[in-house]
Amino acid sequence: MSESSIVEKPEVLEEFDWDTLRKASLFPGGFGEDRIKLWPKLLNVRDGAQQDLSVFDELPSHTDERQIRLDTDRSFVLYPVDARDDKESLQVELNRLLVAIFRKRPKLNYFQGYHDIISVLFLTLPPEIQFSCAEKMSLHRVRDSMGHGLEPILGLLRVTQKLLRLADSSYAELLERRVNVNSPLPFYALSNLITLFSHDMPTLQLIQHVFDYLLCRPPIVIVYLATAIILSRKDEIRRLEEEDEEGMMHSLLSGLPNITDESPSLEESIVKTEDDASSSAGTLDQEQPKSQTSAGDKFPGVSVKEGPCGESTAIPASTGTPSSPSSYSLCESSRHALQKPSITLTSLLLQADRLYETYPPSHPSLALSSIMGPQSVMFTWSSSPSDLPSDDSAERMVDYPQLIVYPYVEEDGDQKEKRKGPRHRRLLKRRPRFRLRDRKTMITGAVLALGVAMAVYGVRSGIVYGEGRHTNFHFHRDWKRLGGWASGFLIGAGNKILHIGDAS
């Protein structure tokens, strides 16, 4: 379609059409007010499926309720921003919702960051369907993280690592050399993968749009979106490398760029993968048509309005025109990181889709089926309700972690050398000497990033497995392993700096 064509956002039809919804989710504002009726359908919640939470008051307490209370007591930090909202009452209501879920589904285990995910549903949907939607989200989309250990999220880090190598091998090599010092796994993506971006997105309208995108696609798409964001920060990482500020790379990648939900301009450059950069150039030009029709145009189920910041809207041709989001200002997201380069959410979502098309989950080099097991949500989810496991079956799946993710085996030295090749060795020889300021920065950044990751996204100990037996996949083993990686990282960095200091 030529740039002179006017592209319209697909109508939200009464008959469920996944392709139409996926296209609509790419536009600024996402589903807008229609998400209230679309999210329950995307989560396979039946019409009229209301739940009285008082029926769970008499059920036995779940072992994680203390941690749930601690987390809900510090929820709603970034949003909502409306001063009329009583934060304490919202926290009480959210806590009651979470407790009800775990009392009904006692085999599920709470993980820190889960409350961030459910808070998005809580702030978006009417009270009468919040429980049913949260239950479906837990059982069929984030269930892998609700078992007895951290292995499933480590599996997604392995898939992310492979996708980065496929998308941009030289950039992935840089990250593994300079950021992932002791392990090639991209631990800076941990927060985004485990919380579906709900912990770090700065505004409600942004995370609502992200959920629009995620909920109408398979669960594995979270890896593609996380990778798209990592790729979007390539220039910033290269700049840090040139300025000998490598210690700040992990901190930068652990956060998000300045994401706006405004329309991309016609000239905006969207990050391209290494292999498809040249071939996709023409396609991208075609995907950036002229601005949309006037603000007065209307479509059934989708309102087309001028952006709240007064901007004109240019829409990718493969999608449609934007709808307005709910009652929060889209301008707010631009106030959170004025010093960072801005990127539109639409650009990131388009890049994630492009990665998915180029390197689908079935791509042999991605090795998804060799990493995640047959009972992972990556394989049990389906857009067809008849192909989904029952809710009770899905709950029981957490009792079999060996069928959710396969054991992690790190590459041996020969494999690493073969993959990196002579170019990597030449780069190492040209590596600049560290100044004293760089050494301090490197250690400070590493301690801060790893400390925050381990403090915020831990899981509780004392999990009971099966018939009263304590699992071998509980808190202490998982965090001992992560602690070992963290310690190795810091020790390795310290030894390297001491060695350089002695040489100088």
What is the domain partition of the chain in residue ranges? Answer: 32-145, 150-262+341-372
pLDDT in tens, 159-186: 999 999 999 999 999 999 988 777 789 9
> Comparing C-alpha atoms, which of 203, 227, 177, 183 is closest to residue 79?
203
pLDDT in tens, 24-39: 999 999 999 999 999 9
pLDDT in tens, 134-166: 999 999 999 999 998 889 999 999 999 999 999
Q: What is the pLDDT of residue 42?
A: 97
Q: Mean pLDDT over residues 273-284, rounded?
A: 36
DSSP string, 192-219: HHHHTTTTT-SSHHHHHHHHHHHHTS-T
Close Cβ partners of 31 (under 8 Å, ≥ 6 residues apart) = 12, 21, 24, 25, 38, 212, 323
Per-residue pLDDT at 451 exceeds 70: no
Backbone dihedral angles phi then psi of residue 163, each to the nearest 5 degrees: -65, -40
CATH ID of 150-262+341-372, from 3.30.930.10, 1.10.472.80, 1.10.8.80, 3.30.420.40: 1.10.472.80
Tally the residues of the chain. Answer: 504
Give 16's pLDDT tier (boundaries 50, 70, 90): confident
Q: What is the pLDDT of residue 83?
A: 57
Close Cβ partners of 400 (under 8 Å, ≥ 6 residues apart) = 375
> Comparing C-alpha atoms, which of 173, 53, 147, 143 is closest to residue 104?
53
Residue where the block lists tokens 């998915």: 356
Residue where the block lists tokens 């190598």: 165
Tokens standing for 319?
């999608």
CATH ID of 32-145, from 3.40.50.620, 3.40.50.150, 1.10.8.1310, 3.60.15.10: 1.10.8.1310
Percent of the chain with pLDDT over 90: 53
pLDDT in tens, 385-432: 999 999 999 999 999 999 999 998 766 555 555 555 444 444 434 444
Q: What is the pLDDT of residue 19?
A: 95
Q: Do 289 and 3 touch, CB atoms closer than 8 A?
A: yes
Same fold, 32-145 and 150-262+341-372: no
Q: Do 173 and 238 touch, CB atoms closer than 8 A?
A: no
List the single range of 42-56, 65-79, 305-319 with lowest mean pLDDT. 305-319
Per-residue pLDDT at 366 exceeds 60: yes
> In a 3-state reduction of DSSP, which class is residue 258?
strand
DSSP string, 276-302: THHHHHHHHHHT---B---TT-EETTE
Q: Would residue 386 be called left, alpha or beta, if left means φ above 0 and alpha means ψ between -120 and 50 degrees? A: alpha
Q: Mean pLDDT over residues 86-100, rounded?
A: 94
The one-letter amino acid code at 22 reads R
pLDDT in tens, 180-227: 777 789 999 999 999 999 999 999 999 999 999 999 999 999 999 999
Q: Is the C-alpha dihedral spanning 465, 153, 484, 163 positive or negative?
A: positive
Q: What is the pLDDT of residue 21?
A: 96
List the single range of 232-236, 355-359, 385-389, 497-501 with lowest mean pLDDT. 497-501
Q: What is the pLDDT of residue 325?
A: 34
The 3-state DSSP composition of the chain as helix, strand, coil percent (nearest 5) reads 55, 5, 40
Q: What is the pLDDT of residue 338?
A: 37
Q: What is the pLDDT of residue 50?
A: 73
Rounded CA-CA distance 341/255 in Å is 13
The most confident of 54-63, 309-318, 473-482, by mean pLDDT: 54-63
Question: pTM higher than 0.75, yes or no?
Answer: no
Residue-averaged pLDDT of the chain: 74
Give 89's pLDDT tier (boundaries 50, 70, 90): very high
Rounded CA-CA distance 319/5 in Å is 13
Per-residue pLDDT at 113 exceeds 60: yes
